Structure 1
Amino acid sequence: MSRFFYIFSIAITVAGLIFLATMGLNYSVDFKAGSNVDVALSKNITLEQLKPALKDLGISHEPDITLGENRVNIRYDKELDSNQDEALKAAITKLDDKASFEINTVDTEMAKELARNAIYSVLISCLGIIIYVSIRFEWRFALAAIVALVHDAFIVVAVFSIFRLEVDLTFIVAVLTIIGYSINDTIVIFDRIRENLRFGKQKTYEDLKALVNKSVAQTLMRSLYTAFTVFIAAFFLLVMGGESIKMFSLAMVIGLLFGAYSSIFIASPLWLLLKKRQKQTVKSNPTKV
């Protein structure tokens, strides 16, 4: 059924590319200059109460406001100075005298550096995986594994773009964690394929396909149990965890599902396709002895 799963993954990838090209990502202040004010409240405050209070602060640009249960997040695309910080605290304290504040400000240079380091961390981890898998197995395994990893990471990025979810540093941590779990599952399946190759005789492509199916079947329950166990932890973090790890947990939940999917339905069939082309090349260019 590899053709069906190829079409399914390509369709999701194309949809994700369209959304990324048209809508981009909703970056937090970690990746663009500005100030993020997280307020814990003793009671709920409505937008009708909050907006007039913030207008009197003398801040020229409009904030992005997110209300939660006894919590409000206020994000400015420009940095607030100390006087503006104190004025904002005073305005909200008039609405709730028990409010507590956490203010994070990132300047332009720091935002650029954080974004640059995030990209480097993902690229370096992928390069390390390619080198490791190439040494332990062969380059076809490495190529199939990295395609599956990029697929998993991109699906998470696409979902965050489609639903305009905030991308911050915890999102990058989630992506790197997803890459780790995904390559772990993929390596287990590849190791079983290599073992079966060692003790079997594959004369035709059909023999090789049967071997891959056998290897996936032998490791299937292990892959599902591993993914499901971590999924349970990530799901309850999402449902019961605090706001600060909400996006991390959501990215983990999505990534774990697609990580298990890609290890079984993308990585192994892709290696089989590359191996089939190798056999065809050998047949068309036989070595003379």
Structure 2
Amino acid sequence: MDTDKYKVDFVKLSKYFFTFSIIITLIGVIMLSVKGLNYGVDFREGSSIDVTVNKAFEKDAVEQFIVDQGYKKDHTISVSNNRVTIRLGDVLTHDQELTFKKGFQEKFDPKASFEINTVDVEIARELQTNALLAVAIASIGIIIYVSIRFEWRFAIAAIIALLHTSFIVISVFSIFRLEVNLTFILAILTIIGYSINDTVVIFDRIRENLRFAKLKNTDDLMTLVNHSISQTMTRSINTVFTVFIAAFCLLIFGSESIRMFSLAMTIGLVCGAYTSIFIASPLWLVLKNRTGKKPSKTAATKTS
């Protein structure tokens, strides 16, 4: 087999990648068990208030206004140049909405405009269920697609890599208490799409190289995997980097409403590239060696 362009033994290094991934996963499990996720108003009862203003305000002043209004449940506030976003743990009635608007306009900006969305307990639970169902259906669809196009070992490796990518993003949001809302779920599904695309490209190259390779032993199979990853490395990095730049610009210059989406995308793209290149293919090799029929080195010597 030809010498690899990048001269990196990905398979030999895979034990370090696997160890790192296991450690990250364990940390994520611990953090999720202790802290859980910081659900936004989309997934718990409460009200979301987006206020468009004509001048900037100090966050502390808005915080004091919320306290003066008598809202004692957990709430979050974010203030930008012309926008104030408030997430209340209280479900506002129509009269409370009118009182809030009047009080805000009197204290801060008479020309302020409001967009108020309220979610009750039943809707929040339904949204949580539908979000989990969407991720589950996407995962099942990927398993079926990869199994038909390649083989079941490729499908198992791909889905483990995707779950690993998603779990890292979820763990980061849990550790830093970042808000999880519907845009976060959209980001996870988008990340799954980009990650499986990179993974399938590498798997397709492995399958193509398998078609013409003369494998005599396990070392030849390891060389083939290394060679396949090297052949697709530039393409994978360029694709992810291009989308990463777009997501990062949205994170820096985008509005507050898509901030968590952009952050999840930025983290997920990096994690997705890592798992596609360093986890998925070596994991397939492990499954292939354990379940596939391989010629032994002794048999190969006799044949030659």
Q: Secondary structure at the match of 2:42?
A: coil
Structure 2: how far apart are the matches of 1:182 and 1:59?
Answer: 42
Range moving further from structure 2, 238-247 or 59-68: 59-68
The two structures have a TM-score, normalised by structure 2, of 0.88
Task: For 1:73, give the aligned amino acid.
Answer: T
What pairs up with 1:11-160 in 2 under 5 angstroms? 11-59=23-71, 61=73, 63-94=75-106, 95-160=108-173
* C-alpha contact (below 8 Å) 2:78/2:85 kept by paired residues: yes
Task: For 2:139, give the aligned amino acid.
Answer: C
Considering only aligned residues, what root-mean-square deviation do their CA atoms show, in Å?
1.7
1:101 to partner: Cα distance:
1.3
Question: Which of the numbers 273, 278, 281 marks the counterpart of 1:268?
Answer: 281
Change (3 A) 1:62 1:15: closer
Structure 1: how far apart are the matches of 2:170 and 2:60?
Answer: 33
Structure 1: how far apart are the matches of 2:79 and 2:197?
Answer: 39
Change (3 A) 1:62 1:251: closer
1:65 to partner: Cα distance:
2.9
1:240 to partner: Cα distance:
0.9
Q: Secondary structure at the match of 1:105?
A: strand
Task: For 1:225, give the aligned amino acid.
Answer: N
Structure 2: how far apart are the matches of 1:257 and 1:53?
Answer: 40
Structure 1: how far apart are the matches of 2:252 and 2:96?
Answer: 35
1:62 to partner: Cα distance:
5.8
Q: Secondary structure at the match of 1:30?
A: helix
Range moving further from structure 2, 49-58 or 237-246: 49-58
Aligned residue in 2 for 1:208: 221
Residue 164 (str. 1) matches residue 177 (str. 2): yes
The two structures have a TM-score, normalised by structure 1, of 0.93
* C-alpha contact (below 8 Å) 1:35/1:80 kept by paired residues: yes
Q: Could you tell me the percent identity over the aligned residues? A: 58
Structure 2: how far apart are the matches of 1:48 and 1:174?
Answer: 31
1:99 to partner: Cα distance:
1.7
Change (3 A) 1:59 1:23: closer
Change (3 A) 1:232 1:88: same
Task: For 2:189, give the aligned amino acid.
Answer: L
Structure 2: how far apart are the matches of 1:137 and 1:224?
Answer: 23
1:279 to partner: Cα distance:
4.3
* C-alpha contact (below 8 Å) 1:80/1:105 kept by paired residues: yes
Aligned residue in 1 for 2:198: 185
Unpaired stretches in structure 2, ≥5 consecutive residues? 1-12, 297-304
For 1:111-148, what per-residue CA distance to the aligned partner results, in whole angstroms no more than 9, with x for missing partners? 11111100000000000000111111111000000000
Aligned residue in 2 for 1:220: 233
Residue 253 (str. 1) matches residue 263 (str. 2): no
Structure 2: how far apart are the matches of 1:219 and 1:55?
Answer: 56
Structure 2: how far apart are the matches of 1:154 and 1:61?
Answer: 29
Aligned residue in 2 for 1:286: none
Structure 2: how far apart are the matches of 1:260 and 1:56?
Answer: 48
For 1:244-267, what per-residue CA distance to the aligned partner results, in whole angstroms no more than 9, with x for missing partners? 111111111111111111111000
Aligned residue in 2 for 1:198: 211
Change (3 A) 1:60 1:252: closer
* C-alpha contact (below 8 Å) 1:59/1:84 kept by paired residues: no
Task: For 2:232, give the aligned amino acid.
Answer: T
Structure 1: how far apart are the matches of 2:74 and 2:145?
Answer: 49
Unpaired stretches in structure 1, ≥5 consecutive residues? 284-289
Change (3 A) 1:17 1:72: same
Q: Secondary structure at the match of 1:186?
A: helix
